[in-house]
Structure 1
Amino acid sequence: MKDRRIIIVTGGRLGEWAIPIIGPDDYIIGADAGALFLVRHGIRPDIALGDFDSVTAEELDQIRRFSGETHDYDPIDKDYTDTELAWRLAVDKNPREIVMVGALGTRFDHTLANVHLLRLAARANVPACLMDEHNRIRLVTRKLRIADHGFSYISLLPLSETVTGITLSGFQYPLHEATIEIGQSIGISNRLQEHEGLIEIDGGLLLVIESRD
């Protein structure tokens, strides 16, 4: 799986914008209502999983018929959300990259928990991001190159208590070996000044959020 990308589609905010993200060679995991979204758009999940409490019995039957595999979980006797189950499965497959859509939505508790899942991929040295129509969220543990893909803003927020040695190249507001503590907003709304930017840190966990209105 090292040469393939895994797409996870989970049951948060989804729309037609999500379809072009999925490529023909991607390995696809549908979590709960995310699996229903896929089959309704004619996309066959390689694996559908979850407790499926967000779909009807008829919709679950549809998911089973149009998925490669279906993994059912008891809604009470499980330790993780459906999204985390999908994420852990993806990390264990050691892919080239993990991209998750449908992870951001109206439930802020779920959204924040899903952002924290980036730590699991970072520990396994698997590149990963969360995407919706307005945002791409990644986690930096050492360095990250960012190309201009049409996002207006790039914001930096610590996921650890402190991030040290932050150096930015190719940005409108550069930094050199700066430190940002959790709760500070100095890293909000930067912009690329060149076609590509470089983010480097010495220590900590730094969220990089590319966004547009």
Structure 2
Amino acid sequence: MNNRIMICTGGRLGEWVRPYIRPGDRLVGADRGALFLVQHGYTPDLALGDFDSVTPEELELIRSVSRETITYDPIDKDYTDTELAFRYALEQSPAEIRMLGALGSRFDHSLANVHLLKLAIDQGIPASITDEHNTISLAVEGTTELHQSEYSHISLLPLSEEVTGITLRGFVYPLHEATLRIGQSLGISNILAEPAGTLTVRTGTLLVIQSKD
């Protein structure tokens, strides 16, 4: 049984989204992300947000198609629409959470959405952000397996102040028990030398950014 939640939010969206949505996914639309789902033939299981980026007519369309709609006052709320959707997803204890449209022209929102991944990894729930050029996830203590894909470059950046014991196997540029600190670019633009490679972390939280031009 598929127990994955896909959150579609209001950043960059397009036809590239379609291959990532699979039958059985639970679809959550945050604000304009809900409108995107509805306009592209999907039925959101939940649409939520203050909906300040859609017209009243578009909100009525979202309400009519979505299985459930929750609206929030744009002033009297502590979280962004994306964080509201993400926290809802965490409460469902899914096998995985993936965010689409979580990157866009507003860098503050994009960075805040990346930080949301920490909430999931703290609960042991795999989570990622995907757009047409990147897929972003986190690695913490332990070993993660990475596979060759359309995202040819793999960059590692510390999310915590320091990440220690970083070991890469199966990469063009291997590392052994390396330490990365905020302000270093040592981990940028690595490439897998084999179909699969491993990333091991001893302490800290590491951003894993798989990219293509």
Q: Provide the TM-score with structure 2 as the length reference.
A: 0.98
User: What amino acid is aligned across from residue 26 of structure 2 in structure 1?
Assistant: Y
Q: Give a deviation string over 1:136-176, Cα, whole Å, max 9, x none.
A: 00000122111111212000000000000000011000001
SS at match of 1:145: strand
Question: In the alignment, is residue 180 of structure 1 matched against residue 177 of structure 2?
Answer: no
- RMSD of equivalent CA atoms: 0.9
User: What amino acid is aligned across from residue 6 of structure 1 in structure 2?
Assistant: I
User: What amino acid is aligned across from residue 159 of structure 1 in structure 2?
Assistant: L
Following the alignment from structure 1 to structure 2, what is the Cα–Cα distance between the partners of residues 93 and 211? 29
Question: In the alignment, is residue 158 of structure 1 matched against residue 151 of structure 2?
Answer: no
What is the count of residue pairs matched by the alignment?
212
Partner of 1:138: 137
SS at match of 1:8: strand
Partner of 2:22: 23
Following the alignment from structure 2 to structure 1, what is the Cα–Cα distance between the partners of residues 182 and 144? 20
Deviation at 1:3, TM superposition (A): 4.8
Residues 1-213 of structure 1 mapped to structure 2, 5 A cutoff:
3-142=2-141, 143-213=143-213
SS at match of 2:191: coil
For structure 1, list consecutive stretches of 5 or more residues without a partner in the other structure: none
User: What amino acid is aligned across from residue 172 of structure 1 in structure 2?
Assistant: V
Following the alignment from structure 2 to structure 1, what is the Cα–Cα distance between the partners of residues 19 and 40? 12
SS at match of 2:155: strand
Tell me whether 157-166 or 142-151 shows the greater mean CA deviation: 142-151
For structure 2, list consecutive stretches of 5 or more residues without a partner in the other structure: none
User: What amino acid is aligned across from residue 178 of structure 2 in structure 1?
Assistant: A
The 4+ residue runs of structure 1 with deviation greater than 2 A are: none
Q: Is the 8 A contact 1:3 1:95 kept in 2?
A: no
Q: Is the 8 A contact 1:31 1:50 kept in 2?
A: yes
User: What amino acid is aligned across from residue 169 of structure 1 in structure 2?
Assistant: R
SS at match of 1:117: helix
Deviation at 1:68, TM superposition (A): 0.5
